[in-house]
Structure 1
Amino acid sequence: MPYPLSADPISVSRWIGYSQFLNHCGSERRALTEQFPSPDHVLDAPASVPLASWRSEIMRGSKRDYSCPPDSWVMTMTDDLYSPLLGECDDAPSVLFGRGDYSQLNKPAISIVGSRRPSLDGRLLAQRFAYELASAGFVIVSGLATGIDAAAHRGALEAAGHTVAVVATGIDTTYPAVNRTLSEAIVENGALLSQFVPGSAPKRHHFPRRNRTISGLSLATLVIEAGLPSGTLITATAAAEQGRDVFVLPWSVRHQAGRGCLKLLMEGALLATTPEDVIRGVNWHRPLAIGHASSTHVSVSGGDGTLPRTTSQTALLEALGDGSHSSDDIARLLSLDIAEVHRDLVKLEIDGQVMRHDSGCWIRA
């Protein structure tokens, strides 16, 4: 069973020292964790056992004042409730810190990943796929980043399903801060998870390791929208290396933010245009609870145009993506004044980069 962390700051500090020592043990991590599954086991071991360095690390941690939020816990890779899928991976984290419902780690999961700056279509598709997959019984795993990650978590929550956020910080930090409310909702309806000790900042080298944990927890990874280059491709590559399926949504060759998806498809990833494609692909036999999947598709219309001259026009073109959208929807997504959106759309129309349908909606030319 996981160990609770919230009540005892000294316990938190000792677990930090315990975990930091294991991070430097390479292939011996698993054997050490099996023999000494907690800081107390290390400290209580007979003096004849050569554990001086480990004891020193644990006791050094005890001198620091750490605390964790409510509902915090920690588990090792030898815990019965450690994710069996993640445990199959050679580089599975020795220790996981978490908040919320750790039982979610033992349920069938699909990870949904993609761009931090998706188009409007990408955001809507992430939310729709997550909603339908959560309704079908999958836990949705993602990374709490802005864009596709946040949309996937919200889609699962809207379906009254469960979602797990794997973060690149300690569990006592929310990054990005704008997702603090979302983070708390995930704790209430799933779990927040980190392989990094409390107090850890979002360092660049944390993210590739976090991405491998996201894919490791999952039966399959679904890439919604990704450009080139993209950190999303790291997660997709990790999933393939871990022997998991990678599903990818197709985009027009003229949609720059979807070129990473096309690259993955050319390399052998599985095509997905509806949630049923993912469910059938992972051979999930539970009855489908999909209400809108038949209308979920990726538009293939659009064009590349030329690069816009202003930041707001760049954001507007990215938001349009491959789809057809009203100026009101664009303004709402970008949090811009509708008059400003209209001005940019007219300028882009004159430049030949966008065009307006008879319906009043806009697409890239």
Structure 2
Amino acid sequence: MKVPPDVESWLNLSLINGLGDESIRKLLIAFGSPTEILSADTYQLERFVKKQVAYNINRGADKSKVDAALKWLEDSFNFIITLADHDYPKLLLNIADPPPLLYLKGQRKLLNAPALAIVGSRNATPQGIANAGAFAEAASNAGFCIVSGMAQGIDTAAHQGGLRGISASIAVVGTGLDIVYPARNRELAHLLAKDGALISEFPLGMPALGRNFPRRNRIISGISLGCLVVEATLHSGSLITAKQALEQGRDVMAIPGSIHSPLSKGCHTLIKQGAKLIENIQDILDELNCQPALAHGNINVTIDFSESQENSILLPHLGYDVTDIDTICTRSGLTVEAVSSMLLTLELDGIVASLPGGRYQRIR
């Protein structure tokens, strides 16, 4: 596939050593296009950037990096979307610092689909994982493309739920798109490339650097109508996304949890600060002032409880908080042997999750 000349010019400009996004936007306003910038002399460029950067522009980008990106674009699922492209996310144009270009793998039509960001802890509880997947699937079936960061935990569950629904999912990553991070999400990345999309502002070959992930969060919130936080500690990166969403004028929502769980503290803080408390998918639709895209679709998550009556007698004594087996025995008055047997059956039915240290949590 032949790459249009303007895309190649954008690519060259973005790969100039020392030239940041803010300077690129300043130069675009002054010169009109990447081609004109790359053709300008050092004297003209020095009016807007430092002398060394002007020299770097005249010298051009690293040819090996440009050639690698052009080779990557030969795949029909790979794209570079620039500020001048009609497919560039319209919502992203309205944030303070939109990236000059985006690398995209997958379905470019999703870039301007109505989207909902779902974010949360990497070290999520079974309940948090279940909530993220269920809300993502319901929102996807209601017409929202689910946006997250492809991290472990809540992000992964959100992408999986979005892909199960009809509106798919977009992962905004903090590496080059030729790198899958974390590596254990390789299969998820392949599914997103096929049925959803992966996008990055970072060039190919960019490794997983800590400073890149808070930066990419502005894109997660920027392309979305609202941001739902499922589980988060007080120092979670998800709160950075929520803060950026507020700054961008997006709706921020949060799912409450146990008052005893550190993973609920971030969500509770957001709710105290005015975030919408979310209990069901209708709460999200009301907050975003939207109706389901499919009038005939069922946007509620229904669960078939198949446990026997014998095992279900344990559930009232097993709350949604993490509980150890001794406490369950004390509450229920049953023996350790009886409780252990019931917990095993409930775990196999997907109703209870076992946690390290002999603890359990009801997840449905």
User: Where on the TM-score scale, by shorter chain, does this alignment land: which range?
Assistant: 0.7 to 0.9
Is residue 14–residue 61 contact of structure 1 (8 Å, CA) maintained in 2? Answer: no
**Alignment partner of 1:130 is 2:136:** yes
| Cα offset, 1:17, TM superposition | 4.5
Corresponding residue number in structure 1 for 2:287: 281
Query: What SS does structure 2 have at the residue aligned with 1:96?
Result: strand
Alignment TM-score, normalising by the size of structure 1? 0.75
| Cα offset, 1:14, TM superposition | 7.0
| Cα offset, 1:28, TM superposition | 4.5
Determine which of 93, 112, 115 is the counterpart of 2:118: 112
Q: Could you tell me how far apart the structure 2 residues matched to 1:278 and 1:242 are?
A: 18
Corresponding residue number in structure 2 for 1:74: 80
Q: Could you tell me how far apart the structure 2 residues matched to 1:138 and 1:150 are?
A: 17
**Alignment partner of 1:292 is 2:287:** no
Report matched runs for 1:343-358 at 5 Å. Answer: 344-345=357-358
Q: Could you tell me how far apart the structure 2 residues matched to 1:214 and 1:180 are?
A: 20
- Number of residues of Structure 1 aligned to a counterpart in Structure 2: 317
Is residue 33–residue 76 contact of structure 1 (8 Å, CA) maintained in 2? Answer: no
Q: Could you tell me how far apart the structure 1 residues matched to 2:179 and 2:269 are?
A: 34
**Alignment partner of 1:148 is 2:154:** yes
Corresponding residue number in structure 1 for 2:102: 96
Report matched runs for 1:1-365 at 5 Å. Answer: 17-21=12-16, 24-25=19-20, 27-33=22-28, 35=31, 37-38=33-34, 42-43=37-38, 50=45, 52-58=55-61, 65=68, 67-68=71-72, 70=75, 71-285=77-291, 286-287=293-294, 289-293=297-301, 301=319, 326-327=343-344, 344-345=357-358
Is residue 80–residue 103 contact of structure 2 (8 Å, CA) maintained in 1? Answer: yes
Q: Could you tell me how far apart the structure 2 residues matched to 1:121 and 1:303 are?
A: 9
Is residue 110–residue 197 contact of structure 2 (8 Å, CA) maintained in 1? Answer: yes
| Cα offset, 1:160, TM superposition | 3.4
**Aligned CA distance change for structure 1 residues 56 and 233 (closer, same or farther; 3 Å):** same
Q: Could you tell me how far apart the structure 2 residues matched to 1:31 and 1:154 are?
A: 39
Q: Alignment RMSD, CA only?
A: 3.6
CA deviation string 1:152-201 (max 9, x = no partner): 11111112332111000001110011111111111111211001011000
CA deviation string 1:195-242 (max 9, x = no partner): 101100010000001111100110000011112221111111110111
Is residue 41–residue 58 contact of structure 2 (8 Å, CA) maintained in 1? Answer: no
Q: Could you tell me how far apart the structure 1 residues matched to 2:186 and 2:32 are?
A: 35
Query: What SS does structure 2 have at the residue aligned with 1:97?
Result: strand
CA deviation string 1:315-363 (max 9, x = no partner): xxxxxxxxxx944676899xxxx9xx69942xx5xxxxx6xxxxxxx56
Q: Could you tell me how far apart the structure 2 residues matched to 1:88 and 1:119 are?
A: 35
CA deviation string 1:61-114 (max 9, x = no partner): 568755427321112223221111111001111111111122211111000001
The one-letter code of the counterpart of 1:237 is: K
The one-letter code of the counterpart of 1:68 is: W
What residue ranges of structure 1 are gaps of 5+ in the alignment?
A: 307-324, 349-353, 355-361
What residue ranges of structure 2 are gaps of 5+ in the alignment?
A: 46-53, 304-315, 325-341
Q: Could you tell me how far apart the structure 2 residues matched to 1:188 and 1:254 are?
A: 40
Q: Could you tell me how far apart the structure 2 residues matched to 1:332 and 1:171 are?
A: 38
Q: Could you tell me how far apart the structure 2 residues matched to 1:330 and 1:91 are?
A: 47
Query: What SS does structure 1 have at the residue aligned with 2:270?
Result: helix
| Cα offset, 1:135, TM superposition | 0.5
| Cα offset, 1:254, TM superposition | 1.1
The one-letter code of the counterpart of 1:292 is: N
**Aligned CA distance change for structure 1 residues 63 and 243 (closer, same or farther; 3 Å):** closer
Is residue 232–residue 266 contact of structure 2 (8 Å, CA) maintained in 1? Answer: yes
Q: Could you tell me how far apart the structure 2 residues matched to 1:205 and 1:229 are?
A: 16
The one-letter code of the counterpart of 2:27 is: L
Greater mean deviation of Cα atoms: 76-85 or 44-53: 44-53
**Aligned CA distance change for structure 1 residues 179 and 41 (closer, same or farther; 3 Å):** farther
Q: Could you tell me how far apart the structure 2 residues matched to 1:280 and 1:343 are?
A: 38
**Aligned CA distance change for structure 1 residues 124 and 246 (closer, same or farther; 3 Å):** same
Q: Could you tell me how far apart the structure 2 residues matched to 1:17 and 1:57 are?
A: 7
**Aligned CA distance change for structure 1 residues 326 and 246 (closer, same or farther; 3 Å):** farther
Q: Could you tell me how far apart the structure 1 residues matched to 2:190 and 2:321 are?
A: 40
Is residue 132–residue 154 contact of structure 2 (8 Å, CA) maintained in 1? Answer: yes
| Cα offset, 1:142, TM superposition | 0.6
Q: Percent identity between the aligned chains?
A: 32
Query: What SS does structure 2 have at the residue aligned with 1:146?
Result: coil
Structure number with greater Rg is 2
Q: Could you tell me how far apart the structure 2 residues matched to 1:14 and 1:26 are?
A: 15
Is residue 119–residue 148 contact of structure 2 (8 Å, CA) maintained in 1? Answer: yes
